[in-house]
Amino acid sequence: MSLVKPITPHLWFDTQAREAAEFYCSLFPGSRVDSIVRLRDTPSGDCDLVSFTLAGQPFMAISAGPVFTFNPSISFLVHFDPARDAQAREQLDAAWAKLIDGGQALMPLDAYPFSEHYGWVQDRYGLSWQLMLSPPGAPPRPRIVPALMFTGEVYGKAEEAATFYRSVFDDSEAGQRVRYTEDTANDRAGTIMFSDFRLGDTWMAAMDSGYSHGFAFNEAISFLVTCRDQAEIDRYWAPLSSVPESEQCGWCKDRFGLSWQISPQVLDELMTSGDEALVARVTQSFLDMHKLDVAKIEAAAREK
């Protein structure tokens, strides 16, 4: 049984969630801002919560203060496939030009052994993107794929993590897997140079990096899992929550340090209802929760 909707990357901004969502929607055809909700009286004050879709991939963003900072441990791999779009290279160059404006190149736009046209860029907000012209014969993938870099304390665990995530989510499959060889500097032979895997309707990529980057997964980017009911919340929470002190408002952190949000579909419906009083009641009901309690959230919605 697939999830209600694809796993949704959730981006934490200081104040720029709305501005950033509109900017990202300008990068890719078929993108849109779906909703903007103002959360009031949270621990971070009043916050904008923005839902948007980029090339078919749902995203969420929140303006909740300068608490967390993006880093390249999580980036977004964007495929531009000439086999499906004759203008793929031109579209890649156009997206790169917008992303590099006010940002910086982490890997310059150039030819590499795995792609004749590829670059890794950190945009003006600090979010990282990998733009790649798909090589001939590459298996079809969604335009945008979240990419996880296992480094520092979790170096060498990309394959273990992918196996674990596939065990948690139904209808999952392994994809590509390329390993480092004996002659690779800074990386152990056999660790993962590149891999991808599907969790329900969501493709994700993963790699190991033995370089001393000085960053790790944090709550700036989390992954929202939308559940049908309390039983489904309980089912995902049990394997994904491994750090009790990180549990708050439906957020949890897994054994690899990756952050997740396990949330019921009804909460999304309530928060986008347009009823400000209801949104305020519901928001206050879950602020002190660790794992979300659907019955209490629905009770708060019914109050008058």
- Average pLDDT, integer, range 150-166: 97
Closest CA to 271 of 261, 260, 283, 263: 283
Mean pLDDT of 199-207: 96
For residue 213, the surrounding DSSP H or E stretch is none
CB 227 within 8 A of CB 121: no
Most confident residue range from 11-15, 38-42, 278-282: 11-15
Closest by Cα among 142, 144, 148, 81 to 115: 81
Q: Strands 259-264 and 221-227, how do they pair?
A: parallel
Write down the pLDDT at residue 112.
Answer: 95
* Percent of the chain whose predicted confidence (pLDDT) is above 90: 83
The predicted pLDDT at position 1 comes to 57
**How many DSSP H helices and E strands does the chain contain?**
7, 15
Domain 8-69+218-302 has CATH 3.40.50.2300: no
> Can you give the pLDDT at residue 2?
63
Q: Give the pLDDT mean for 183-212.
A: 93
Higher pLDDT, 275 or 141: 141
Distances (CA, A) of 286 to 32, 221, 265, 295: 28, 20, 14, 11
Higher per-residue confidence, 213 vs 126: 126
pTM over 0.85: yes
pLDDT value, residue 66: 92
Residue 262 confidence (pLDDT) above 90: yes
Per-residue model confidence (pLDDT) at position 74: 98
CA atoms of 193 and 218, how far apart (whole Å) = 22
Are the CB atoms for 10 and 62 separated by under 8 Å? Answer: yes
What mean pLDDT do residues 34-48 have?
86
Percent of the chain with pLDDT over 70: 99
Q: Which two tokens mark 288?
A: 């002190």
Q: What is the pLDDT of residues 4-15, one digit of tens each?
A: 789 999 999 999
> Which CATH number is associated with domain 74-208?
3.30.720.110
Going by C-alpha positions, the residue among 209, 161, 219, 157 that lies closest to residue 185 is 209
Q: Give the C-alpha separation, 300 to 304, whole Å.
A: 9
How much is the mean pLDDT over the chain?
A: 94
pLDDT at position 40 is 84
What would the pLDDT profile of 84-141 be if each residue is shown by its tens digit? 999 999 999 999 999 999 999 999 999 999 999 999 999 999 999 999 999 998 899 9
For residue 44, pLDDT over 80 is answered with no
**Residue 231 in this model has a pLDDT that exceeds 60:** yes
Q: What is the DSSP string of 21-75?
A: HHHHHTTSTT-EEEEEEEEEEETTEEEEEEEEEETTEEEEEEE--TT----TTEE
All CATH 3.30.720.110 domain ranges of the chain, comma separated, are: 74-208
CA 268 to chain centre: 17
> Who's near 207: CB < 8 A, 6+ residues apart?
147, 148, 149, 150, 158, 192, 193, 194, 195
* Predicted pLDDT at 276: 87
- How far is Cα of residue 149 from the mean position of the Cα atoms in its chain? 12
CATH 3.10.180.10 positions along the chain are 8-69+218-302
